[in-house]
Amino acid sequence: MPELRRIPVNGVELNVALAGSGPAVLLLHGFPHTWELWTDIVADLSDRYRVIAPDLRGFGASGGATSGYDAGTLADDATALLAALGVSRAAVVGIDAGTPPAFLLALRHPGLVRRLVVMESLLGRLPGAEDFLADGPPWWFGFHTAAPGLAETVLQGHEAAYVDWFLRTGTLGDGVPPAIRDAFVRAYTGRDALSRAFSYYRALPESAAQIERALTTTRLTVPTMALGAWPVGSALENQLRPVTDDLTGHVIEDCGHIIPLHRPHALLALLRPFLAGEDAITT
């Protein structure tokens, strides 16, 4: 089992799962997840890597804040976490809400990020996702960002049913292990927990602007792998292609959005060789 530590960074206290030793790998989860999204990935990689899997700011057991849910601040949280752990170079893996901060982290600090893996998300308003967005963004984006407090009011007392919908849909109906499902439900139960999670969605316009501003002066030079499944598919790869120097893309077949829980072995079959593709510095 990973060691759980509480580490103060950037004005909040993050709950962080740590396992293994060797070159560092930072894992950034999405919604409605916690670090336990990565359970199978941590177990596999920790025999050769130092795996670092935080609950993002305000998610799970990490401390909340009234602001700072934009991608830039979440990237700053990750940078500060690596510094607090004495890590000078790391591979970074992000999914869903963890993808934009992972991208900005690599864009801002190419000397810190040796390899980048991003999956099942979009990067703001960058071109390339037009087909995916032809019918508009997913319905919950509008729901989570509607009139202040509306989503929290509607969902309070019904959190388990809401989280279960995402877990079933994100695994094409297969569901996730009961212990992990229960951990996710606990993490998103209560008005405050919901509000913190929805703050990420409410910050999406600022996150998109941060990405656009950053790309006016630089390109992504870090070796990058973009992974898709259902429903995002190749949209993220299409967004990255014009702004990335070294990009590999894959779509995992018969796989739902929650790749690390739905098809962990398929994900690891791609992750292992990619992470090992460069002689890593042990930190």
- Domains of the chain are 3-135+207-275 (3.40.50.1820)
Q: What is the pLDDT of residue 72?
A: 98
The answer to whether 119 and 95 are in contact (CB under 8 A) is yes
Q: What is the pLDDT of residue 214?
A: 97
Q: What is the pLDDT of residue 217?
A: 95
Q: What is the pLDDT of residue 283?
A: 37
- Distance, CA of 114 to CA of 137 (rounded, Å): 32
Q: What is the pLDDT of residue 253?
A: 96
Q: What is the pLDDT of residue 121?
A: 98
Q: What is the pLDDT of residue 41?
A: 98
| Strands 12-19, 3-9: pairing kind | antiparallel
Q: What is the pLDDT of residue 265?
A: 98
How much of the chain, in percent, has pLDDT values that exceed 70?
98
Q: Collect the ranges in the chain with pLDDT lower than 70.
A: 278-283
- Distance, CA of 121 to CA of 10 (rounded, Å): 25
The answer to whether 252 and 229 are in contact (CB under 8 A) is yes
Output the average pLDDT for the chain.
96
